[in-house]
Structure 1
Amino acid sequence: MTTYHTLGNAHRIICLLLLAIAIGIPCAAAVTLTPGSSATMTTISQGDPVYIRGIATGHPQVGLQVWFIGYNFAKVTTVQVNDDNSYDYELQKSDTANLAPGQYFVLIQHPMMNGRFDVVYDASSGAVINVQTGKTLYQFTGSGSLQSTDAATALIQAVSSQNIDDTFATVSFYVASPVATINPIGDRYTGDKFTINGTTSLAPDDELMVEIYSSSYIPTTKTQSSGLSGASGTVKVVAGSGGRNTWSFDVDTSSFAPDMYLVKVSGVLQDVTASTTFNVLCSGSGDTCSVPVSAVTVPTASSNATATATTTSPDTPTLPSTTVPVTTRQSPVPAAVCLGSIAAVLLIRRLT
């Protein structure tokens, strides 16, 4: 009996720990990089944030020194280590929005035993300096500075020198111009309800504005019936599979007049645009269409109407459907943890 109760208590503790871990882990997070990991290089879109997260043992009082190196981009800052030896640094949207497309390198520097950084950046001169000798190692910013991979290589060589007790971990990421695509829509009929969707390199939870309007739309006076027939709204990007994130927008054509419709998708915060067209056809018999009286009356197609319909507004540029590497995010709660949590609950109920 004693053995049974001891084992039962142990099981309860383990199950509760698993449950606590599952609850504590967020189901989704922003783009996350872990220095020292061997994961495939992450690609982000301009304007998406990046989190640098990891573990630094020894709890250095001066924190960690963070170096960012890329094309015409150099940044050095520090981040404090938490009580549990974890650290977390955010490269904000305002930073990545101005990054040129290309590869970027991150180095996390630990001061080690002497509690100081032996390789530092002098902002006044733009040079990287060996604190022990006081000598300039190379130019990091300003005139004569090294660029991109050369600067990263020089920094690694400096910190890994046998006379320097600092240690480091590195990680890289790739910045790409944001892209959005719209899947083919095809012809629809008045009264149809369907979903327009597509892909994008923007990160999950980024917002897109979707606008649908008649190609025959013309401004009207306030005494005339509205010339607008269409719909609009914002949608959030959803994490996809196979390296592509997705978006979708529900459409109800009950109030649409038969016409060619323009679809424009644009980023709310990021500079990305895509456009396409589709036709709404008459669902009635003969010349009668099942559309509300308030809808715009569009004349039967003629040579002039056709020319108007096939002309795309300059405000709705058509982007090529190019597939690019897309933003990845920290994975949702691992399946093993979730299953372990469920098993924990069931075991607790059984033992109690």
Structure 2
Amino acid sequence: MKYYPAGRNVYRGICLLLLAVALGIPCATAVTLIPGSTAITTIAQGDPVYIQGIATGHPQVGLQIWFIGYNFVKVSTVQVNDDNTYEYELQQSDTAKLAAGEYVVLIQHPMENGVFDVVYDPSSGTVTNVQTGKQIFQLTGSGSLQSTGAVTALMNAIGSQNIDDTFAVVTFYVSQPATSINPIGDLQQGEKFTINGTTNLAAGDNLMVDITSSSFNPTSKTAPSGFSGAGGMIQVVPGNGRLNTWSFVVDTSTFVPDEYLVKVSGVEQAVTASARFDVVCNGSGDTCSIPVTSTTATIAPAATLPANVTTPLPATPALVLTSVPATTQVSPVPAALCLGSIMVVVLLARRLI
């Protein structure tokens, strides 16, 4: 048998605690776009975006990325992997500050000469032809073209017969985070149903659903409160069009007949939606069953207890309050950081075993 000092046991406990925390962190999700795709994609402000594709010829200088939209320009490069694939990330810090509207990402390939023949000069805000040294158009600063005009001018410049570079384009739309709840209607007491809706949040983003009785009020300890409701966290799933969807299953068998309020809140994003529905009697006339949850203490008869044992008084059942998880917005954490946290904790734990 191995003997572990008390301090080592403490460290092991800390490692397990860190692992639990790392697993509980809501990791940021992302939208993946493929250049050349004709699909129309809408993202919410603050959702990261990945641009992925294949660059033949494995250019040593990588690829030049032009990210152009309303009052926004970002030009950078990305390296190509050994298998000719590439991936470029528009981070949350990039998309969170974007105005609503259309955005274009143009991926420029240097082709045979291995040189970007069309480049951006941030000092002057101009786009220049490297071969001739001639300024083609003003991208930023005074006299610059608007986003659509700038994209058209850039594509014309790179597509010129005197330039051997080539490019691929992907377009997406940015809008403020939003979600909606589909109409619910009246429900029979005891009925199971699904609340669903649409959102422009990325698939995998988390939403909190809270359902509460509109008649909920504090009461005395002995009086039934009449409170009923439900709540939980769900994930956004891909939709068939520009919007994604979500759903939440509800069982009204423990609901008292009443009006109920539904609130849907984003966990990673600041977004909310609300709706109402009524639970009505499922019996005849005006008689409705009111579910009541009670705890009964059973006491053994005195004759069955040994003579030298005093019959204990039944303990007063503790009052248990079921609370719906808070809907306070949580700052999302990149997926790589979540995975890294888990790996660090696992390595620490392995060293202590």
Q: TM-score normalised by the shorter chain: which range applies?
A: 0.5 to 0.7
Distance apart, 1:285 and its partner CA = 5.8
CA contact (8 A) 2:42 2:243 kept: no
Higher RCO (Cα < 8 Å, 6 or more apart): 1
- Computing the radius of gyration from Cα coordinates, the structure with the larger value is 2
> Aligned in 2, Cα 1:58/1:222: closer, same or farther, shift over 3 Å?
farther
Q: 2: distance between equivalents of 1:96 and 1:199?
A: 21
Distance apart, 1:211 and its partner CA = 1.2
Distance apart, 1:103 and its partner CA = 1.6
Equivalent AA in structure 2 for residue 185 of structure 1: I
Task: Look up the SS of the partner of 1:181 in the other structure.
Answer: strand
User: How does 1:1-352 map onto structure 2 within 5 Å?
Assistant: 31-37=31-37, 39-218=38-217, 228-241=227-240, 244-283=243-282, 289-293=288-292
> Aligned in 2, Cα 1:98/1:225: closer, same or farther, shift over 3 Å?
farther
CA contact (8 A) 1:180 1:198 kept: yes
CA contact (8 A) 1:51 1:90 kept: yes
Q: 2: distance between equivalents of 1:268 and 1:50?
A: 18
Equivalent AA in structure 1 for residue 92 of structure 2: K
Distance apart, 1:235 and its partner CA = 0.8
Equivalent AA in structure 2 for residue 215 of structure 1: S
CA RMSD of aligned residues (A): 2.9
Task: Look up the SS of the partner of 1:138 in the other structure.
Answer: strand
> Aligned in 2, Cα 1:102/1:34: closer, same or farther, shift over 3 Å?
same
Q: For each residue in 1:180-201, what CA deviation from the matched residue of structure 2 results, as whole angstroms up to 9, or x when unmatched?
A: 2322222224433322222333
> Aligned in 2, Cα 1:237/1:119: closer, same or farther, shift over 3 Å?
same
Q: 2: distance between equivalents of 1:67 and 1:167?
A: 13
CA contact (8 A) 2:44 2:201 kept: yes
Equivalent AA in structure 2 for residue 199 of structure 1: T
Percent same amino acid at aligned positions?
71
> Aligned in 2, Cα 1:83/1:182: closer, same or farther, shift over 3 Å?
same
> Aligned in 2, Cα 1:243/1:76: closer, same or farther, shift over 3 Å?
closer
Q: 2: distance between equivalents of 1:190 and 1:227?
A: 14
Single out whichever of 190-199 and 81-90 deviates more from structure 2.
190-199
Distance apart, 1:207 and its partner CA = 1.6
Q: Which runs of 5+ in 1 are unaligned?
A: 1-28, 296-352
Q: 2: distance between equivalents of 1:149 and 1:243?
A: 21
Distance apart, 1:66 and its partner CA = 0.4
Q: 1: distance between equivalents of 2:185 and 2:162?
A: 67
Equivalent AA in structure 2 for residue 55 of structure 1: I
Query: What is the number of equivalent residue pairs in this alignment?
Result: 266
Equivalent AA in structure 2 for residue 191 of structure 1: G
> Aligned in 2, Cα 1:46/1:220: closer, same or farther, shift over 3 Å?
farther
> Aligned in 2, Cα 1:99/1:289: closer, same or farther, shift over 3 Å?
same
Distance apart, 1:247 and its partner CA = 1.4
Q: 2: distance between equivalents of 1:102 and 1:53?
A: 22
